[in-house]
Amino acid sequence: GAGVSQSPSNKVTEKGKDVELRCDPISGHTALYWYRQSLGQGLEFLIYFQGNSAPDKSGLPSDRFSAERTGGSVSTLTIQRTQQEDSAVYLCASSSTIVGNEQFFGPGTRLTVL
């Protein structure tokens, strides 16, 4: 079956512009995660959705970052007024339950802020 997909695969934007990154999780997966991976760095947790519960936004680095998940499926991560330090690969992952199940990762969106 289809895996997690993300779009666009690459995004180049100018400082100060807003960007939207999209994630299509595996069908039926109730949990969805966003991470950020800067060059040579580990994974930085951003936000986590589980079913209809309120999302865990504890990893969002500033109020310029927001995410929503519509209908328990597709998710959009929005970064407003982008800064150069936002440049990174943004990864989305989904899993079928939160109890011990693996996360399936998408290929990521590489964001470059000029």
Partner 1 sequence: GNSVTQMEGPVTLSEEAFLTINCTYTATGYPSLFWYVQYPGEGLQLLLKATKADDKGSNKGFEATYRKETTSFHLEKGSVQVSDSAVYFCALLNTNAGKSTFGDGTTLTVKP
Would you tell me which residues interact with partner 1 (CB under 8 A)?
31, 33, 35, 41-43, 45, 48, 50, 56, 91, 93, 98-108
Q: Minimum distance between the CB of residue 35 and partner 1, rounded to whole angstroms?
A: 8
CB closer to partner 1 out of 2 and 99: 99
* CA-angle at 53, arms to 24 and 58, nearest 5°: 80
Rounded CA-CA distance 93/23 in Å is: 8
- Residue 76 sits at the vertex; the CA angle it makes with 75 and 77, to the nearest 5 degrees, is 125
Least separation in angstroms between CB 1 and partner 1 = 15
Q: Which is nearer to partner 1, 33 or 65 (CB)?
A: 33
The Cα–Cα gap between 22 and 4 comes to 11
To partner 1, the closest distance from the beta carbon of 101 in angstroms equals: 8
Nearer to partner 1, 25 or 108 (CB): 108
31 within 8 A of 95, measured Cβ to Cβ: yes
CB nearer partner 1, residue 72 or residue 107: 107
